Amino acid sequence: MKILVPIKRVVDYNVKIKVKSDNSGVDLENVKMSMNPFDEIAVEEAVRLKEKKICNEITAISIGSAKSEETLRTALAVGADKGILVETEENVQPLEVAKILKEIINKNSPDLVLMGKQAIDDDSNQTGQMLSALLGWPQGTFASKLEINEKKINVTREIDGGLETLNMELPAIVTTDLRLNEPRYASLPNIMKAKQKPIEKISPGDLNIEIKQRLKTLKVTEPPKKESGIKIDSVQELVSKLHDEEKVI
């Protein structure tokens, strides 16, 4: 089995982001970047499947600037076998990402695409579903458990009423959720070995994909700061404040 794992370079989730002074976006200058956390889960699951001898090849792919090669090297250090970098300086939106992945899949013929359910920078949660539609493949979103038996896969996912298990035939698209696993840290020897693993570099033009900006960000603002709370001495005082000051009752 061959697995393709798309990954994205995003602002590290521990970083407190700042909005640009002109409100045009998030300030990325001198900000720590890392692999999208949901993509880390996808890479980990692919590596676990390889360790179980279910998978024999893992390809990580990233779409972005030349700096995304560092993120690919992280995936290779964790256990991916090779990488593909679709290099572009443009902002690539979900539909174009899905179209690029479709072309890569047509060339490489993976049996399973494991990808994060969303990226923490735009929170779109669209690429997996769009890719499934473009390919005509079955999809299992928000996976919390995977079971693979030859050419079939069971995907357990959390829904409002509990758990739902989908049975699908491969090839398929699976998007990963937080409870699927806990990603490992890459060891120093594996980080060194990752430097020797191959990364193929191409451009969207090589795939006959034109990057279009269908969405435009009009304004980015920080959320309003929360005011400090107060202590009250009685229920009567609470009711009075809710009625007289907050006007909610």
Say how far apart CA 80 and CA 44 lie, in whole Å: 9
Number of domains in the chain: 1
Is residue 117 included in any domain, yes or no? yes
Say how far apart CA 113 and CA 4 lie, in whole Å: 5
pLDDT for 117 equals: 95
- Band (pLDDT 50/70/90 cuts) for residue 232 is confident
Is residue 242 included in any domain, yes or no? no
Q: Which structural domain, as residue segments, surrounds residue 109? A: 2-224
Is residue 244 included in any domain, yes or no? no
- Band (pLDDT 50/70/90 cuts) for residue 215 is confident
Please check whether residue 95 is in contact with residue 214, taking contact to mean a CB–CB distance below 8 angstroms.
yes
Mean pLDDT (the chain, rounded): 93
Is residue 144 included in any domain, yes or no? yes
Is residue 240 included in any domain, yes or no? no
Q: Report the CATH number that the domain containing residue 197 is assigned in CATH.
A: 3.40.50.620
pLDDT for 132 equals: 97
pLDDT for 50 equals: 96
Is residue 135 included in any domain, yes or no? yes
- Say yes or no to pLDDT of 58 above 90: yes
Q: CB neighbours of 109 closer than 8 A, spacing ≥ 6?
A: 2
- Say yes or no to pLDDT of 30 above 90: no
Name the percent of the chain in helix, strand, coil, to the closest 5: 30, 30, 45
What are the distances in angstroms from CA 81 to CA 61, 148, 193, 246?
Answer: 11, 20, 11, 59
- Say yes or no to pLDDT of 27 above 90: no
pTM of the predicted protein model: 0.86
Average pLDDT over every residue of 17-41? 90
Is residue 30 included in any domain, yes or no? yes
Q: What is the pLDDT of residues 118-167, one digit of tens each?
A: 999 989 999 999 999 999 999 999 999 999 988 899 999 988 888 999 99
Top pLDDT among 27 and 44 is at 44
pLDDT for 244 equals: 87
- Give the count of beta carbons closer than 10 Å to the beta carbon of residue 211: 18
Is residue 87 included in any domain, yes or no? yes
